[in-house]
Amino acid sequence: MRLSRFDLYAPATLEEVFYLLQAKGPDARIMAGGTDLLLKIRHGALKPKSVIGLKKIQGLKTISFDQSSGLTIGATALLAEVARHPDIVKHYPTIAQAARGTANPQIRNMGTVIGNLCNASPAADNAPTLLAMDAKIRIRGPEGERVLPLDQFFKGPGQTALIPYEIVTAVHVPAPSPNTGTAYLSLSARGKMDCTAVGVAAMVTMTGKTCAGVRLFVGACGPVPLRAPKAEDILRGQELTEEVVEKAGTQASAESRPISDMRASGDYRTEMVAVLTRRVLREAHQRALAC
Amino acid sequence: MNQFSIVGKDVPRNDARAKATGSAIYTDDVKLPGMLYGQILRSPLPHARILHIDTSQVASLPGVRCVMTGEDTPKVKYGNWRLFPETQDEYPLAIDKVRFIGDEVAAVAAVDPDIAQEALSLIKVEYEELPGVFDVDAAIKEGAPVIHDYCPSNISVNRKIKYGDIDKAFAESDYVREDTFHVHAVSHAYLEPCAAIAQCDLDGRITLWTSTQVPYIIQCLLASTLQMRENDIRIIKPFVGGGFGGKMELRTWEFCAAFMAKKTGRPVKFTLTREEEFLTGRRRHPMKIHSKVGFKKDGTLTAKDLKIYLDGGAYNAMGPTATFLCGNFGAMLYRYPSYRFHGQHVYTNKPPASAMRGFGAPQSIFATESQMSLAAEELGLDPIDIRLKNAQVTGDTIPDVATISSCGFIEALNKVAEMSDWREKRKTLPKGRGIGIGCYSFISGGVFNWFNTQYPFSAAEVRAFDDGTAHLLTMAADIGQGCDTVLKQILAEAFGLKMEDIRITSADTAITPQADLGAWGSRLTLMNGNAVLDAANKIKAQLFGAVSARFNLNVIHEIECKDGKVYPKGRPDRSLSFGEAVAMAQKINRGEPLVARGYYTPRNKGLVTPSFSFGAQVAEVEVDQETGVVQVQKFWTAHDCGTAINPMAVEGQLEGSIQMGLGYALSEQFVMEGGKTLNTNFLDYKMPSSMDVPPSEVVHIETYEPEGPMGAKEAGEGLAIPTAPAIADAVGHATGYRCKDLPITPEKILRAKRES
């Protein structure tokens, strides 16, 4: 299919990015790995006149970790780099797992975690875990920087809280709390390499036998990755018995709003939210107890 | 067993290095000076009358060199069943009606592909939309919309087989079961999309490079549709990235490339996109299969009554052959004392179904195998025992249809049972885990001459040289299955030469001998292999003269070619090198080159095939009870392909078959709405990836096929058959859910669990 003509810019600084964004107007598109953007252009869904690549910008690729301040993943850090980064593998194994489970090796060597978030697909593999871990997104614009909780970032399929001329520079994940475990599971029609039809992520913090804190997010079952607050309420302050976990699963299922499409029926998705919720809760619970 | 030097060895494929290094030239890689790029305008409607096509705007777009519609063509219908012209129902471009979304309406050629694409949007087509039918039940209903005027019933082919007293046999059966199965369409999903490039010389002769399985058929049908002489058309098949049955007919882009090259005087190339392939491409026939089988108490089969409706889509394509074959395969594997088949090929407003690896067998045998396992359960027998009891053996005949000249089926059944620890696992596996069996039989090429060729079915020319080399020329099409390598091995074996001593030129209709019907029906190893042997034997007869003259042989001697030498059998001390023998033979003939042609056409081999392959496969699965997800843990396969000319290539066929069978069983399907295919990319068309393919073990059962070259028969398609029934049986064993409508999706498993 016809690839529409566009000019590609590769600025070396953020200042140049903002200059270009303002100079080229609202139709200019930001590109990190390009694995989503170029596909949309190739299929004629987008016809930008200007594409601004971020990969030349120094420092934007950084992945940094500090015991107290936590983890920062820069905008151009590749999925493959996140998947194998020793600090992430050690302290945020579920983030590494989600990155490793995204698409295929070729895509992971081009695409970025931030790009996956900014594409704002409800099925984005990296969103539920980061949401469950209470990540914050760092946004820069010509006027300066703002920080937004990730759960306020997604506005709809392909829609984010970014306003014109803004870009995401990093995602920040707090330092892992003690006695906390995370888990993410996804299902798809093909098996090992596929886009997700249902995904659920959980973070569980235990105090003794009691669940002191929990965050539960469901992917691909609504216009954005959805939180399941009522399911969380069932868990918080409780011992995570099979019965409680079962109830939370059923509740999470009731809170999801899946559609039927060619990847799965709405009914199947609803049913699987319960199954996966139970499984991620058990897994996160075990990990919380183990640390 | 015969002692071979090269046959039976793991010889690296001829094309392996070229493909691995990227130096292989595929059709789309062919670039000619001044070449134009073609694009096809396709119907957006599933069924409509074309009222008017306005192409007047197109010429105004700079860079466009040619635009054509059906009106510009000679309006000759084509189809592979030339013997029955009424089955030829397709025009290169639509004339009166469009019959599926994607039906070809017009074509343009321009100096670059983007301009050609843009030109399509300037063609205005006025349609009168007609009601469409999208499944066989709707299509055969009284008063259903008629898709082809010549065929008011929408049933384009009827095929019947009958033998034995079936009503009596059912009446005398202890146990009779009837089931209806629905099997779905899947894509060939060859990695190289269809492509063709045509050039017309100043004498008006056409050369067409095309990604095809059937150069000879393209040559003939292109000639008839262009109203040219066959030999004014030359078809060259470059490297082909898979076909699986999807590239065995003349197609629109081949015709349009040739037509527009002739018209413009410039080469014209078409390359389809993946989206076009999925949206409009050929596919495996969906079938509605009603099967009734009868047994004695002890599991002995008494009768089978099989009714199949094939959902053919908008045109016949290879549907007539699939209709014919699914009935023949219904009678294979087991001994049915009485058998009745009625197959009906039905038009619907969907992309045409056609040949696809297994050619009617994966569907028909899915029903056979499912019923054998179901019957075993009902009769309290082990599924392998009921198969052993009824298994076909060497010498069995299917009345008026075929004789089985070699058969290792029973050995294969026993072998897979042993390899997989079947008897233990079938009894003891816990709930959620299961083991299942699927079997197959397949043809080694077809006997019936529906193409109505006047030539032998296969031919080969062999040239022997005094430097100890030989040149093999054949029209056989290597499409990735490896026949170039296998045919070279056969010749090298016959001449006692090494692989590197043989040059092969294949699949160029202007220089390789007439004819070869192409790469389909798993025919090339047996048929073209026999032609190569015939040619080699003719050369050897001439070499006998030379050796005889040199060593003053007795007329009763036979000669042998081995290790680069030619000598009287049993007397290697009296030898000439191959090259010396050729030189002598040439001197005897006053310098005339040593050339021979060999041929093969099956004779007195019934109606189906000269020989059948057999095999059995066991799958072990784990089913997630909550999600319904099926994970195949392992496959065990035992198969009989006669002499495996190249065991490594046979294993390659098995690996590919398992990947295809896995997709057919579990994940692949066209998601369609009102005749439109919605999943047109590999993200949403769920073909298993390499990561989804489980480990597998294989054993070749040794048989010797008397009709095959050096004992060989097919190994290309049969292996694609057993995987789906094996998985279905294993899922049934694991969960109690017996799938009768492929694919076996998690949702179906969970629904069955809820309902039970």
> Domain boundary residue among B280, B295, B330?
B280
Q: What distance in Å separates residue A198's CA from the closest CA in chain B?
A: 11
Cβ–Cβ below 8 Å for B667 and A1: no
In a domain, B183, yes or no: no
Query: Which residues from A are below 8 Å from B633, CB to CB?
Result: none
User: Testing the interface with B: which of A262, A263, A278, A279 to mutate, by most B Cβ within 10 A?
Assistant: A262
pLDDT (mean) for B411-426: 98
| pLDDT for position A2 | 59
Interface confidence, given as ipTM, is 0.93
- Nearest chain A residue to B275 by CA: give it: A1
- Nearest chain A residue to B686 by CA: give it: A190
Q: Using the predicted structure, report yes or no on whether residue A191 has a pLDDT greater than 80.
A: no
Tokens of residue B578, six digits: 């191959």
Q: Which secondary structure element, helix H or strand E, spans residue B306, and what is its range?
A: strand B301-313
- Nearest chain B residue to A189 by CA: give it: B667
Q: Using the predicted structure, report yes or no on whether residue B4 has a pLDDT greater than 90.
A: yes
The answer on B503 and B426 residing in a single domain is: no
| pLDDT for position B146 | 98
Tokens of residue B636, six digits: 């065990």
The answer to whether B560 and B551 are in contact (CB under 8 A) is: no
Tokens of residue B234, six digits: 């030359």
Beta strands in B405-555 (DSSP E): 433-443, 458-464, 470-474, 502-506
Q: What is the CATH number of the domain that holds B487?
A: 3.30.365.10
User: Testing the interface with B: which of A100, A190, A268 to mutate, by most B Cβ within 10 A?
Assistant: A190
User: Testing the interface with A: which of B627, B631, B658 to mutate, by most A Cβ within 10 A?
Assistant: B627
The answer to whether B651 and B712 are in contact (CB under 8 A) is: no
The answer on B233 and B370 residing in a single domain is: no
The answer on B471 and B437 residing in a single domain is: no
The answer on B318 and B256 residing in a single domain is: no
The answer to whether B718 and B522 are in contact (CB under 8 A) is: yes
Phi, psi of B437 (to 5 degrees): -125, 145
Query: Which residues from A are below 8 Å from B627, CB to CB?
Result: 187, 272, 275
The answer on B465 and B391 residing in a single domain is: no
In a domain, A1, yes or no: no
Structurally, chain A folds into a number of domains equal to 3
The answer on A187 and A110 residing in a single domain is: no
Cβ–Cβ below 8 Å for B667 and A268: no
User: Testing the interface with A: which of B621, B664, B680, B686 to mutate, by most A Cβ within 10 A?
Assistant: B686
Q: What distance in Å separates residue A11's CA from the closest CA in chain B?
A: 30
Per-residue pLDDT band for A155 (boundaries 50, 70, 90) equals: very high
- Nearest chain A residue to B691 by CA: give it: A192
- Which tens digits make up the pLDDT trace of A121-149? 999 999 999 999 999 999 999 999 999 99
Query: Which residues from A are below 8 Å from B678, CB to CB?
Result: 262
The answer on A85 and A49 residing in a single domain is: no
The answer on B461 and B434 residing in a single domain is: no
In a domain, B143, yes or no: no
The answer on B436 and B367 residing in a single domain is: yes
pLDDT (mean) for B166-173: 98
Cβ–Cβ below 8 Å for A2 and B117: yes
The answer on B224 and B106 residing in a single domain is: yes
Q: What is the CATH number of the domain that holds A278?
A: 3.30.390.50
In a domain, B410, yes or no: yes
Query: Which residues from A are below 8 Å from B692, CB to CB?
Result: 190-193
Q: How many CB pairs under 8 A join A and B?
A: 51
Q: In A, what residues contact B, Cβ < 8 A?
A: 1-2, 104, 187, 189-195, 262-265, 267-268, 271-272, 275
Q: Which of B113, B626, B688 shows the shortest C-beta gap to A191?
A: B688
In a domain, A205, yes or no: yes
Q: Using the predicted structure, report yes or no on whether residue B39 has a pLDDT greater than 90.
A: yes
Amino acid at residue number A273: V
Q: Using the predicted structure, report yes or no on whether residue A175 has a pLDDT greater than 50.
A: yes
Q: Using the predicted structure, report yes or no on whether residue B103 has a pLDDT greater than 50.
A: yes
Domain, as residue range, for B507: 16-22+457-600
Interfacial B residues in 97-156 facing A (CB < 8 Å): 113-114, 117-118
In a domain, B157, yes or no: no
Query: Which residues from B are below 8 Å from A1, CB to CB?
Result: 117, 273, 275
Q: Which of B117, B275, B688 shows the shortest C-beta gap to A190?
A: B688
**Contact status of B626 with chain A (Cβ, < 8 Å):** yes
Question: What is the SS3 assignment for B43?
Answer: coil
Cβ–Cβ below 8 Å for B692 and A189: no
Q: Using the predicted structure, report yes or no on whether residue B170 has a pLDDT greater than 70.
A: yes
Q: Using the predicted structure, report yes or no on whether residue B672 has a pLDDT greater than 70.
A: yes
**Contact status of B622 with chain A (Cβ, < 8 Å):** no
Cβ–Cβ below 8 Å for B750 and A265: no
Query: Which residues from B are below 8 Å from A262, CB to CB?
Result: 671, 678-679, 684
Per-residue pLDDT band for B343 (boundaries 50, 70, 90) equals: very high
- Nearest chain A residue to B667 by CA: give it: A190
Q: What distance in Å separates residue A192's CA from the closest CA in chain B?
A: 6
Q: What is the CATH number of the domain that holds A87?
A: 3.30.465.10
Helix axes B252-264, B215-226, angle to 10 degrees: 60
Percent of chain B scoring above 70 in pLDDT? 100
Phi, psi of B749 (to 5 degrees): -65, -45
Cα A46 to Cα B390: distance, rounded to the nearest angstrom: 62
pLDDT (mean) for B538-546: 94
Compute chain A's Rg from CA coordinates: 19
Tokens of residue B376, six digits: 């075993």
Domain, as residue range, for A17: 7-53
Q: What distance in Å separates residue B747's CA from the closest CA in chain A?
A: 6
The answer on B299 and B224 residing in a single domain is: no
In total, chain A counts a number of residues equal to 291
- Which tens digits make up the pLDDT trace of B294-336? 999 999 999 999 999 999 999 999 999 999 999 999 999 999 9
Cβ–Cβ below 8 Å for B117 and A189: no
**Contact status of B683 with chain A (Cβ, < 8 Å):** yes
Q: Taking Cα atoms as reference points, which of A69, A155, A72, A94 lies closest to residue A119?
A: A155
In a domain, B163, yes or no: no
For B592-643, the three-class secondary structure string (H helix, E strand, C coil) is CCEEEEEEECCCCCCCCCCCEEEEEEEEEEEECCCCCCEEEEEEEEEEECEC
The answer on B588 and B474 residing in a single domain is: yes
What single string gives the DSSP state of each residue in chain A?
-PPPP-EEE--SSHHHHHHHHHHH-TT-EEESS-TTHHHHHHTTS---SEEEE-TTSTTTT-EEEETTTEEEEETT-BHHHHHH-HHHHHH-HHHHHHHHTSS-HHHHTT-BHHHHHHTT-TT-TTHHHHHHTT-EEEEEETTEEEEEEGGGTEEETTEES--TT-EEEEEEEPPPPTTEEEEEEEE-SSSSSS--SEEEEEEEEEETTEEEEEEEEEESSSSSPEE-HHHHHHHTTSB--HHHHHHHHHHHHHH--PPPBTTB-HHHHHHHHHHHHHHHHHHHHHHHHH-
DSSP B513: P
Cα B630 to Cα B752: distance, rounded to the nearest angstrom: 14
Tokens of residue A171, six digits: 């995602």
Cα B369 to Cα B618: distance, rounded to the nearest angstrom: 12
Q: Which of B275, B678, B747 shows the shortest C-beta gap to A268?
A: B747
The answer on A194 and A168 residing in a single domain is: no
pLDDT (mean) for B712-719: 96
Q: What distance in Å separates residue B663's CA from the closest CA in chain A?
A: 9
The answer on B228 and B217 residing in a single domain is: yes
Cβ–Cβ below 8 Å for B667 and A195: no
Per-residue pLDDT band for A291 (boundaries 50, 70, 90) equals: confident
Per-residue pLDDT band for B570 (boundaries 50, 70, 90) equals: confident
> Domain boundary residue among A111, A140, A173?
A173
The answer to whether B543 and B534 are in contact (CB under 8 A) is: no
Cα B74 to Cα B77: distance, rounded to the nearest angstrom: 9
| Strands B268-271, B195-200: pairing kind | antiparallel
> Domain boundary residue among B569, B600, B631?
B600
Q: Which of A1, A193, A275 shows the shortest C-beta gap to B627?
A: A275
End-to-end alpha carbon distance in chain A: 52
pLDDT (mean) for A55-62: 95
In a domain, A217, yes or no: yes
Query: Which residues from A are below 8 Å from B114, CB to CB?
Result: 2
Structurally, chain B folds into a number of domains equal to 3
> Domain boundary residue among B549, B573, B600?
B600
Cβ–Cβ below 8 Å for A192 and B684: no
In a domain, B146, yes or no: no
Cβ–Cβ below 8 Å for B667 and A191: yes
| pLDDT for position B2 | 58
In total, chain B counts a number of residues equal to 756
In a domain, B149, yes or no: no
For B188-229, the three-class secondary structure string (H helix, E strand, C coil) is CCCCCCCEEEEEECCCCCEEEEECCCCHHHHHHHHHHHHCCC
Cα B678 to Cα B219: distance, rounded to the nearest angstrom: 34
Query: Which residues from B are below 8 Å from A194, CB to CB?
Result: 683, 686
Q: Using the predicted structure, report yes or no on whether residue B1 has a pLDDT greater than 70.
A: no
- Nearest chain A residue to B669 by CA: give it: A262
Q: Using the predicted structure, report yes or no on whether residue A193 has a pLDDT greater than 80.
A: no
Cβ–Cβ below 8 Å for A264 and B679: no
The answer on A76 and A18 residing in a single domain is: no
Cβ–Cβ below 8 Å for A187 and B627: yes
In a domain, A2, yes or no: no
The answer on B595 and B465 residing in a single domain is: yes
The answer on A169 and A68 residing in a single domain is: yes
In a domain, B151, yes or no: no
Q: What distance in Å separates residue A101's CA from the closest CA in chain B?
A: 12
The answer on A116 and A32 residing in a single domain is: no
Cβ–Cβ below 8 Å for B689 and A191: yes
Q: Using the predicted structure, report yes or no on whether residue B338 has a pLDDT greater than 70.
A: yes
Mean pLDDT of the residues in chain B: 96
Q: Which of B273, B667, B671 shows the shortest C-beta gap to A1?
A: B273
Query: Which residues from A are below 8 Å from B682, CB to CB?
Result: none
Q: Which secondary structure element, helix H or strand E, spans residue B730, and what is its range?
A: helix B723-735
- Which tens digits make up the pLDDT trace of A274-289? 999 999 999 999 999 9
The answer on A112 and A84 residing in a single domain is: yes
**Contact status of B746 with chain A (Cβ, < 8 Å):** yes
Q: Taking Cα atoms as reference points, which of B354, B399, B104 lies closest to residue B213?
A: B354
Sheet of strand B458-464, all strands in order from the earlier edge strand to the far edge: B502-506, B470-474, B458-464, B594-600
The answer on A82 and A37 residing in a single domain is: no
Query: Which residues from B are below 8 Å from A265, CB to CB?
Result: 747
| pLDDT for position B748 | 96
The answer on A87 and A42 residing in a single domain is: no
Q: How far is CA A194 from CA A182, A197, B400, B430, B628, in A?
A: 22, 9, 49, 29, 17
The answer on A185 and A285 residing in a single domain is: yes
